[in-house]
Amino acid sequence: MMLSQGVLPAAMADDGEALETLRTKVDEGIRILDDPELMSPNRRAEKEEKLWRLSEQLFDYPAMSRLVLKSYWDELTPRQREAFSVAFTDFLRRAYVPRLLERYKGQRLNYERQQIISPSRAVVEAYVIWHGRKFPFSVHMIKRQAGWKIYDISVMGVSAIKNYRAQFRWLLLSESLDQLIARLKARANPAS
């Protein structure tokens, strides 16, 4: 059963905290994207900042950093973990927030279902129609003290975390962690 614009059957709504968190934050993001006061080019930086602050409420960036370096993480010092987390998070910010602003043309998410994996994990299945095609994706969420947070997104079956993990594992075969961090910083700040 396909659900349009996030309507849930009663059976799924009983434990729909993850989906409701996602829906609430996505709706807030759409309000920022559609805000007529933020449409002018001279307010783009402000719009980007608002979207980033919202994403910090929704995404678990420390968990994402840990997951992409999975097998290496335990070998890192606290300083290395922090340096990587900061560089990776900044890279994500610089890569995805501008891309969202460029590609957003009023699309809306359609929520299909939520699957509770455990008391602290859930997967929300959704899709977006873009250029006349349906793009399904899964949002993997974990329950923290601050509420439900995203730790991975799979688009058409491809996990972002696994994709970055494979890339970083390949790079770390021939580079040090410091070189990987420098590479992420360079990608996050191409003008510098």
pLDDT at 2 over 60: no
Within-domain flag for 2: no
Within-domain flag for 4: no
- Measured CA to CA in angstroms, residue 37 lies from 33, 47, 52, 103 at distances of 10, 10, 18, 19
Structural domain harbouring 68: 10-188
**Model confidence over 115-159: pLDDT tens digits?**
999 999 999 999 998 888 899 999 999 999 989 999 999 998 899
Within-domain flag for 63: yes
CA angle 2, 4, 9 (to 5 degrees): 65
**Model confidence over 15-30: pLDDT tens digits?**
579 999 999 999 999 9
Residue 53 sits in a domain whose CATH number is: 3.10.450.710
Query: What pLDDT was estimated at residue 187?
Result: 84
How many domains, in total, are found in the chain?
1
Span 186-192, average pLDDT: 69
